Amino acid sequence: MTESISQEVLHQAIGQLMHPAINHTLVELGMVKDMALRDNEVTLTLALPFLTIPASIKDYLVNSLRQAVMQLGAEVDIRVAEMTQEERRAFLAMEQEGWDSSVEHDE
């Protein structure tokens, strides 16, 4: 039987995931919401600033979250949602501050 993971271990694993183009974690950017752990099953929401972001970026973010949780030995269900206007404003401000100019970005 798989050993149960703790909320603390889960939050630590998720909290270290960096955005690929912004020098902030997904948690700092407000992109991880509604995280719950029950019987080694994790549910969470990936909040995107816009649902129209390129599929490759969305897939990268979802897969990063999925791998972080699965490495802990838990199952994961990830929902994708759009940020509220207030969340989007905070995200865009942090994006401006933390944009990594060494990464190639599609315009």
pLDDT in tens, 62-105: 999 999 999 999 999 999 999 999 999 999 999 988 775 554 54
* Band (21; pLDDT cuts 50, 70, 90): confident
Q: Tell me the pTM.
A: 0.86
- What's 41's domain CATH number? 3.30.300.130
For residue 81, what are the domain limits? 7-97
- CB–CB of 78/44 below 8 Å? yes
Kindly state whether residue 105 falls inside one of the protein's structural domains: no
Assigned token pair, 39? 């019987």
What is the count of structural domains for the chain? 1
Tokens 């816009």 — which residue? 50
Strand order in the sheet with 32-38: 32-38, 41-48, 75-82
